[in-house]
Structure 1
Amino acid sequence: MIGKLIAAACALALHTSTAGAQVVAVEQGRLHGVDRGRSVAYLGVPYAAPPVGQLRWRPPIPALRWSGVRNASSFAPACMQRGVSMPGETPPTTSEDCLYLNVWTPRRIGRRAPVMVWIHGGGYANGSTAMPLYAGDNLARRGVVVVSIAYRLGPFGFLAHPELTAEGGGSSGNYGLRDQIAALTWVKRNIAAFGGDPNNVTVFGQSAGAMSISLLMTSPQARGLFERAIAQSGGVFEPLQLAPQYLLANAEHDGVRYAASLGANSIAALRALPADRLLDGEAGRVSHPVIEPVVLPRAPYDAYLAHHFADVPLIVGVNAEEGRSLVDVSGVTAANYAAGIRDTWGELPPALSGAYPFTTDAEAQQARVAFETDLRFGWDMWAWARLHAQEASHSVYYYQFAQRPPFPSGNVRFGWGASHFAELWYMFDHLDQEAWAWSAADRATANAMASYWTSFARTGDPNEAHQAPWPRFVNDHPQVLELGRSSALVAPLTPQLRVFDSVYAAVRGRPFGSREE
Structure 2
Amino acid sequence: MSHSPAPDNVLVDPPAGSLRGVVEDGLAVFRGVPYAAPPVGDLRWRAARPHPGWSGVRDATADGPSAPQMYREEGDPVLGGHGSPPFGEDCLTLDIWTPAADGARRPVLVWIHGGGFVSGSGSLPCYSGATFARDGDLVVVSINYRIGPLGYLYLGPYGDAPEEGGNHWLTDQLAALRWVKENIASFGGDPDRVTVAGQSGGAVSTAALVGHPQARGLIRRVVLQSPPLGLELPGPDAYLERTAAYLELCGAEDVHGLRALPWQDLIAAGAGLFAQTVQWGYWPTPFLPVIDGITLHHHPAESLLQAEAAGIDVVIGWTREEANFGFALDEGYAAATREQVTARIAQTFGGPSAAGVYEAYERARPGSRPADVLMDLITDELFRIPAVRLAEAMAEAGRPVRAYQFDLPTPAYEGRLGAAHCLELPFVFDNFDQWRHAPFLAGLAPVVRDGLAWTMHRAWIAFVRTGDPNHPDMPAWDPYDTGTRTTMRFDSVVTALGDLAGASRLLFGPGRPSA
Range of TM-score over shorter length: 0.7 to 0.9
What is residue 391 of structure 1 aligned with on the other side? Answer: 397
Q: What does residue range 212-231 of structure 1 map to in structure 2 within 5 Å?
A: 212-231=205-224
How far is the alpha carbon of 1:367 from its aligned partner?
Answer: 2.8
What is residue 93 of structure 1 aligned with on the other side? Answer: 86
How far is the alpha carbon of 1:25 from its aligned partner?
Answer: 1.3
- Judged with a 3 Å threshold, the aligned counterparts in structure 2 of structure 1 residues 305 and 104 are, in CA distance, closer, same or farther, namely closer
- 1:450 is paired with a residue of what secondary structure? helix
Whole-Å Cα distance in 2 between the matches of residues 180 and 305 of structure 1?
20
Q: Are 1:313 and 2:313 matched, yes or no?
A: yes
Whole-Å Cα distance in 1 between the matches of residues 252 and 472 of structure 2?
55
Q: Is the 8 A contact 2:205 2:300 kept in 1?
A: no
Q: Are 1:429 and 2:430 matched, yes or no?
A: yes
Q: Is the 8 A contact 1:429 1:450 kept in 2?
A: yes
How far is the alpha carbon of 1:303 from its aligned partner?
Answer: 4.5
Whole-Å Cα distance in 1 between the matches of residues 245 and 187 of structure 2?
45
Q: Are 1:369 and 2:362 matched, yes or no?
A: no
- Judged with a 3 Å threshold, the aligned counterparts in structure 2 of structure 1 residues 108 and 260 are, in CA distance, closer, same or farther, namely closer
What is residue 326 of structure 2 aligned with on the other side? Answer: 326
How far is the alpha carbon of 1:300 from its aligned partner?
Answer: 3.6
What is residue 357 of structure 1 aligned with on the other side? Answer: 362
- Judged with a 3 Å threshold, the aligned counterparts in structure 2 of structure 1 residues 309 and 256 are, in CA distance, closer, same or farther, namely farther
The code of the aligned residue for 2:21 comes to G
1:137-169 alpha-carbon deviations (Å, 9 max, x no partner): 111102111110011001100111233666232
Q: Are 1:380 and 2:386 matched, yes or no?
A: yes
- 2:61 is paired with a residue of what secondary structure? coil
- Judged with a 3 Å threshold, the aligned counterparts in structure 2 of structure 1 residues 269 and 230 are, in CA distance, closer, same or farther, namely same
Q: What does residue range 12-91 of structure 1 map to in structure 2 within 5 Å?
A: 14=1, 22-83=10-71, 87-90=79-82, 91=84
What is residue 441 of structure 1 aligned with on the other side? Answer: 448
- 2:244 is paired with a residue of what secondary structure? helix
What is residue 294 of structure 1 aligned with on the other side? Answer: 294
How far is the alpha carbon of 1:33 from its aligned partner?
Answer: 1.3
Whole-Å Cα distance in 2 between the matches of residues 453 and 213 of structure 1?
16
Give aligned-pair identity as a percent: 34
Whole-Å Cα distance in 2 between the matches of residues 107 and 465 of structure 1?
27
- Judged with a 3 Å threshold, the aligned counterparts in structure 2 of structure 1 residues 269 and 165 are, in CA distance, closer, same or farther, namely closer
What is residue 173 of structure 1 aligned with on the other side? Answer: 166
How far is the alpha carbon of 1:67 from its aligned partner?
Answer: 2.2
Q: Is the 8 A contact 1:311 1:392 kept in 2?
A: no
Whole-Å Cα distance in 2 between the matches of residues 237 and 50 of structure 1?
33
Q: How many residues align?
A: 480
Q: Which runs of 5+ in 1 are unaligned?
A: 1-13, 506-511
How far is the alpha carbon of 1:223 from its aligned partner?
Answer: 2.2
Q: Is the 8 A contact 2:117 2:147 kept in 1?
A: yes
What is residue 282 of structure 2 aligned with on the other side? Answer: none
- 2:141 is paired with a residue of what secondary structure? strand
The code of the aligned residue for 1:429 comes to D
Whole-Å Cα distance in 1 between the matches of residues 214 and 158 of structure 2?
19
Whole-Å Cα distance in 1 between the matches of residues 344 and 381 of structure 2?
15
1:386-420 alpha-carbon deviations (Å, 9 max, x no partner): 12212244x1111111123464x48x77xx33211
Scaled by the length of structure 1, what TM-score is found? 0.85
- Judged with a 3 Å threshold, the aligned counterparts in structure 2 of structure 1 residues 106 and 404 are, in CA distance, closer, same or farther, namely farther
1:219-244 alpha-carbon deviations (Å, 9 max, x no partner): 22222211000000004356xxxx2x
Greater shift after overlay, 348-357 or 246-255? Answer: 348-357
Q: Is the 8 A contact 1:121 1:208 kept in 2?
A: yes
The code of the aligned residue for 2:423 comes to A
Equivalent residue in structure 1 for 2:191, among 183, 189, 198 = 198
How far is the alpha carbon of 1:310 from its aligned partner?
Answer: 4.8
- 1:104 is paired with a residue of what secondary structure? strand
Q: Is the 8 A contact 2:210 2:304 kept in 1?
A: no
- 2:419 is paired with a residue of what secondary structure? coil
How far is the alpha carbon of 1:431 from its aligned partner?
Answer: 2.1
The code of the aligned residue for 1:258 comes to Y
Q: Is the 8 A contact 2:159 2:254 kept in 1?
A: no
**Aligned-residue CA RMSD (Å):** 2.9
Equivalent residue in structure 2 for 1:401, among 401, 406, 413 = 406
- Judged with a 3 Å threshold, the aligned counterparts in structure 2 of structure 1 residues 219 and 465 are, in CA distance, closer, same or farther, namely farther
What is residue 268 of structure 1 aligned with on the other side? Answer: 256
How far is the alpha carbon of 1:109 from its aligned partner?
Answer: 6.6
Whole-Å Cα distance in 2 between the matches of residues 474 and 120 of structure 1?
29
- Judged with a 3 Å threshold, the aligned counterparts in structure 2 of structure 1 residues 269 and 389 are, in CA distance, closer, same or farther, namely same
